[in-house]
Amino acid sequence: MNIVGIIPSRYASSRLPGKPLAMIGDKPMVQWVYENCLKGLEHVFVATDDQRIVDAVEAFGGKAVMTREEHTSGTDRCAEAAVNIENKYGVKSDVVINIQGDEPFFEAAQLEDVKSAFENNDTQIATLIQEAKDIEQVLNPNEVKVVLNTWGEGVYFSRAPIPFLKNVDQKEWMKEQTFYRHLGIYAYRINTLNEIVKLEQSSLEKAESLEQLRWIENGFPVTCVVTELDETMCIDTPEDLEKANAFVKNK
């Protein structure tokens, strides 16, 4: 089974233009992500809409493909990239892992966690979740929560605290219930990936701004793998970039 890691990398960013090429220490951010991926995957590629990113990736010995500019999600970009990767490099994808391009210090062991889901032939889509550590994470709308069925599949993802504990003081919620937060890494069997990118945006997806709800609404189960590994620093702003450089300098 060929498992291919794809790092969607757009040049445009409202808060940090040219983010993939932003320097952290002596390397652009995309190189940090790429090299971490190689610790857990044989096949890693960058999928971008900008030739400057292709040039930067190839300059450090990486592999990259161009994709259309108009993609609205990393999932859409991964689907086109898988075709372009096979055409350019001759690497056929059985499973695609969609890797966040703005987390330069993520642990490659997370890739092992998500890969393990595909030991089950029934897995179509997999993602990582983690037990919430405190009530602040549960209540934070920027933290996506998920509830599971008996088979470890996501029943629903929400920015709201789910499940809601009726007749329990909110201060006691963490003692009474295990809450899970979603980590932003997806993997898909290639046939499933090609199907889900054809789906129209769903009402729940629009309401919560979460693309995985479109898949669930259309009957595609999302297998959730619980990881013990923490999420790492996400780079979204110039301030985040300063913190990342400080982190590297002090290592």
Q: For residue range 111-132, what is the model confidence (pLDDT) as tens digits?
A: 999 999 999 999 999 999 999 9
Q: Is residue 190 part of a domain?
A: no
Per residue in 177-219, pLDDT (tens digit) is 999 999 989 999 999 999 999 999 999 999 999 999 999 999 9
Q: Is residue 61 part of a domain?
A: yes
Alpha helices per DSSP H over the chain: 29-38, 51-59, 74-89, 109-116, 135-139, 173-176, 190-196, 203-208, 212-217, 238-250
Q: Is residue 189 part of a domain?
A: no
Coil vs helix vs strand at 93: coil
Q: Is residue 242 part of a domain?
A: no
Using CA atoms, how far apart are residues 231 and 129, in angstroms rounded to an integer?
Answer: 10
Question: What does the mean pLDDT of the chain come to?
Answer: 94
50 with 25, same domain: the answer is yes
Q: Is residue 157 part of a domain?
A: yes
Using CA atoms, how far apart are residues 156 and 158, in angstroms rounded to an integer?
Answer: 7
Q: Is residue 131 part of a domain?
A: yes
Using CA atoms, how far apart are residues 23 and 241, in angstroms rounded to an integer?
Answer: 8
pLDDT higher than 70, residue 231: no
Q: What percent of the chain has pLDDT over 70?
A: 99
Domain that holds residue 78: 1-106
Choose among 127, 122, 92, 97: nearest CA to 2. Answer: 92
Instruction: Report how many domains make up the chain.
Output: 2
Task: Look at residue 68 in the predicted model and tell me its pLDDT.
Answer: 93
Per residue in 60-74, pLDDT (tens digit) is 999 999 999 888 899
Dihedral sign from CA coordinates of 55, 58, 60, 64 = positive
Choose among 135, 101, 96: nearest CA to 10. Answer: 101
CATH number at residue 148: 3.90.550.10
144 with 94, same domain: the answer is no
**Sequence-distant (≥ 6) Cβ neighbours of residue 52 within 8 angstroms:** 11, 18, 21
Are 113 and 229 in contact by the 8 Å Cβ rule? The answer is: yes
